[in-house]
Amino acid sequence: MNDEDLIVVGTGIRTVGQLTMEALSWIKKADKVLYVVSDPIAEELIKKLNPNGAESLYTLYAENKPRLQTYNEMIEKTLSYVRQARTVCMAAYGHPGVFAYPGHESIRRARAEGYKARMLPGVSAEDCLFADLNIDPAMAGCQSYEATDFLINGRIIDPSSHVILWQIGVLGDATYKRYGYEIKGLPQLLQKLYSFYNPAHMVYIYEAPIFPGVEPVVRPTPLYMLPYAGASAITTLYIPPATPPRTDIALTQALGLFSS
């Protein structure tokens, strides 16, 4: 195993069975393990693997505190240990590079300061969604947006493709809430989606299971009923294709993709 000053790993959505051997090795080897995980099993495992170096970053969250402020504090704490010439492992739930600004930014800043830093892949909620909903993103294509970003930044979607909107349960709220979010912007989100889909188009509320033996949440609902579908902070919205693709017949024939 090569030496690194900073290694960023993921614990998977469901730690049991999804934490890779490589990630396990780094958690054990590191002088310091800074972790943000979503279940007690993952936390206990990290503490057991590295009892002297494990430290939770979750304590940096606070009610109504801007999440970006918390993320920047996580980055600064991580870099403070790296600067002490220690091998630091940052462990985050899911894939450490998917909806995980602190991991990417910690690596960028560490490298800018001359330290060796890299990220290992992990199992993300998107990977679980593809498996649980039996979706192949290569069939029809797949577009993926964070819900607030999709709403406010003029993103355009193709209704003939699979569409995934992340974090609809925190739509329009940049702060941390311990006991649930008021989903701001949901009426505006629906109005934008209505420009691409019939209000009766069937969509799916999805939540990946974090414990072994627990089934995923897969809740179908007509689009217009989305406000009453029970979205939470970990909810993902999956929108199946609504129209066939617009095939360029001339180009398809030129490529010889049509059989005679």
Residue 63 tokens, joined? 């009610």
Residue 102 has phi, psi (to 5 degrees) of -60, -35
As a whole number of angstroms, the distance between CA 135 and CA 144 comes to 14
Angle between helices 40-49 and 21-29 (to 10 degrees): 50
CA distances (Å), 169 to each of 11, 13, 67, 147, in order? 22, 18, 15, 9
Judge whether 93 counts as a catalytic residue.
Answer: yes
CA distances (Å), 237 to each of 88, 179, 216, in order? 35, 21, 13
Judge whether 178 counts as a catalytic residue.
Answer: no
Residue 190 tokens, joined? 């629906």
Of 184, 186, 164, nearest to 174 by C-alpha is 184
Of 239, 204, 200, 256, nearest to 223 by C-alpha is 200
Annotated active-site residue in 35, 71, 197, 204: 71
Judge whether 71 counts as a catalytic residue.
Answer: yes
Annotated active-site residue in 61, 81, 93, 204: 93
Of 13, 20, 215, 191, nearest to 94 by C-alpha is 13
The single-letter code of the amino acid at 101 is Y
Catalytic residues: 67, 71, 93
